[in-house]
Amino acid sequence: MKYETQHLEGEEVLAIARAAAVAARTAPKARGIDDILTLVLTGAEKDRLADEVLRIGEEKGIGIFVRDSKNLRGAGAVLLVGVRNKVREVPNCGYCGYPDCTANARAGGVCAMCVTDLGIAVGSAASVAADRRADTRVMFTIGKAALGMGLLPDAAAAFALPFTIAGKNPFFDRK
């Protein structure tokens, strides 16, 4: 039996996105509270997200959104990693800039522990791509567009990791 490279690469990109989603979900979390959300998109759903990233870039005149929409369109899959914003009730923390969790919640602030958990989850997901020798890059632009589209309805913040397998990483040396 013959296996064409393009077919194998397409299968592997999805397998990597799945494994990265698992790594994000199982990453350590502050106080053991799991508020991480993940979603993998391919095909037409991924391309609709790329359209939204492009729309934002063109409408607001932000070139990095236009650039990243092209990167997303060329990717085989994208992992969205988001976090719910629920204060963790850590005594005397103040990392969010408010005196305590009650003040943060009243002001509509973002809990620093939630954002930290998001960063750890994204790092865990990116490590899977590195271990599997796939190309990826963490992109806030795609995460922002995904939030605007309601793809992660409970998320307060999100990042995206598009995945591809190529002879040259398309996510670097960009203009």
- φ, ψ of residue 40 in degrees (nearest 5): -110, 135
C-alpha neighbours within 13 Å on the C-beta side of residue 167: 2
Task: Report pLDDT digits (tens) over 78-128.
Answer: 999 999 999 888 888 999 999 999 999 999 999 999 999 999 999 999 999
Topology classification of domain 5-164: NADH Oxidase (3.40.109)
Global confidence as pTM: 0.93
Report d(CA 80, CA 132) in Å as an integer: 19
Q: Does the pLDDT value for residue 175 go beyond 80?
A: no
For residue 153, which of 85, 89, 101 has the smallest C-alpha distance?
A: 85
Q: What six digits make up the tokens of 20?
A: 């990265």
